[in-house]
Amino acid sequence: MRLSLSFSFLLFFLFIVVVLSFLHSRSNELFLSLSPKIFFSFSLLGLLENPEDFESAIEAFATVVSMEDESGQPGEWGFKAMKQVVKLRLKRCADSSSNSSSSSSSPELISLAIESLAKLLSYVDSKAVTKNKSEKVLNSLLETMNQVEDRELLEQFYEKTLKTMTREANERLWFKIQLKLCKLWLKWQNFAAMGKTLKELRKSCEDENGNYAASKGTQLLEVYAMEIQMYTEQKNTKKLKELYRESLAIKSAIPHPRILGIIRECGGKMHIAERNFGDAATDFFEAFKSYDEAGLPRRVVCLKYLVLANMLMQSDVDPFGSQEAKPFQSNEEVKAMTDLVQAYQANDIASFETLLEKHKKSISDDAFVAEHIQALLDNVRTQVLLKTVRPYSKVKLPHLSEELNIPEKELESLLVNLVLDDVLDAKINQVTGMLEINRENIADASELEKEQQAEAVGGQKQGDKELQKKVAESEYDALNRWSDQIMRTQDLLFEKLC
């Protein structure tokens, strides 16, 4: 009896030992599975409490990675921890470059950042995380890189990333990274490297037969938009024309509004250069709407260009008549242009020049606007000059210089151009300082104005009637309109009094 009890007790003891051993092994597994999450949470909490303590935060996140490495199962939490480490390293580099006299970080900090990036990319390469998750994290890092100014760090970062994220591994992410790299080449004016990258991107949009794939229309438009920006910087008008036409020919794309804005703005500038002001106004308005939809500040610039195009084509169309443009009517930059229009239409040189000086930052500092503002100023001076000399056969040059508010040398240059263009039949007598005019063949200001209108309206689209209106008329037509307005005002006053 005692023997059987002892044996039963022994069996029970062995059973307890086995159960405890099993529970112990399971608890270790449970601890190992939960500990990366716990350590990640504590690391993140510590970073929030001390956001400037980079080294402690990096060390805490590195512990999470080490725990997963020891378990032999690298996964989501180690990947998340490495993402935080890379971000902290990049921020450390950014702070270092901003605090130093040079714009670059120390080689040690750059090396540590690239090492951390390599570790992060090893998770992607080994497929320890899903494709979508890795793409999301890398996109987030690329956005962080936009705040970094250190060229050496940026070049190494993109080089390392592209070695892992090849076109074969993830074509969509590879395409995005290459586009972001192109933006950097554009910023650094490295057009040779940019052209080479764009050539690769174009090739990725081709099918097996070497033709552009219809399914990749959106990507192709993104490439075109980037090329347009490059050729705009290089002032390559021929290439810009080709790209603009090719872009409009793509119908199978649903691009981002920013891309459409870039393409349409390019078209507007191209049409302005060709003096096709009607089509320029149309393209600038489309560019404005696209930028507005994307919420980009470039919309104000395009609205300013739209006002310029309307001024050059002498149109009656109100650029602020649309629902999209109306809220921007009081914008400081846009208002400067509208005030300029009024002075231009009134041939008021003094007001025109005063506004140019007053709004120098928003008007003259824009190279594109400044280029055409000079042409407008010359037009105003020409109109005033012709009206001033019309009644005379001889006029003193100092008097004309005073009327136009320009030095005599500029006046002589303007007169020479008018004579060569057969606008004015006259000669300059430098001995007497007089402008001697042939009264029989003097050109009428209204005729010049009509020629400019015909040239401006000639390239307008057939169906766009509003943009084809001719506003600037002869002096006598203006007097008739003024007379009609007085009559209408008189009728209104009479009705109110009665």
DSSP-derived secondary structure letter, 426: E
Contacts (Cβ under 8 Å, ≥6 apart) of 61? 40, 43, 81, 82, 84, 85, 88
| pLDDT at residue 491 greater than cutoff 70 | no
Between 262 and 352, the higher pLDDT residue? 262
Mean pLDDT is lowest, of 128-142, 357-371, 401-415, 443-457, for: 443-457
The three-state secondary structure class of 427 is: strand
Edge-first strand order for the sheet with 394-396 is: 394-396, 434-437, 426-429
SS (H, E, C) 270-328: HHHHCCCHHHHHHHHHHHHHHHHHHCCCHHHHHHHHHHHHHHHHCCCCCCCCCCCCHHH
Sequence letter at residue 326: K
How many residues make up the chain in this entry?
Answer: 498
Q: Are 392 and 401 in contact (CB under 8 A)?
A: no
| pLDDT at residue 222 greater than cutoff 90 | yes
How far apart are alpha carbons 402 and 398 in whole angstroms? Answer: 6
Between CA 78 and CA 89, with CA 83 as vertex, the angle to 5 degrees is 125
| pLDDT at residue 378 greater than cutoff 80 | yes
| pLDDT at residue 286 greater than cutoff 50 | yes
| pLDDT at residue 319 in the model | 80
Q: Are 419 and 427 in contact (CB under 8 A)?
A: yes
CB atoms within 10 A of CB 224: 26
The mean pLDDT of the chain is: 77
How far apart are alpha carbons 441 and 425 in whole angstroms? Answer: 6
| pLDDT at residue 123 greater than cutoff 50 | yes
| pLDDT at residue 318 greater than cutoff 80 | no
| pLDDT at residue 31 in the model | 37
DSSP-derived secondary structure letter, 435: E
Between the alpha carbon of residue 200 and those of residues 33, 142, 206, 255, 259, the distances in Å are 44, 20, 10, 20, 19
Domains along the chain?
A: 34-165 (1.25.40), 388-497 (1.10.10.10)
Between the alpha carbon of residue 282 and those of residues 69, 305, 310, 336, 358, the distances in Å are 60, 11, 10, 21, 29
Mean pLDDT is lowest, of 95-99, 192-196, 269-273, for: 95-99
Between 285 and 21, the higher pLDDT residue? 285
Q: Which residues pair with 437 in a beta bridge?
A: 426
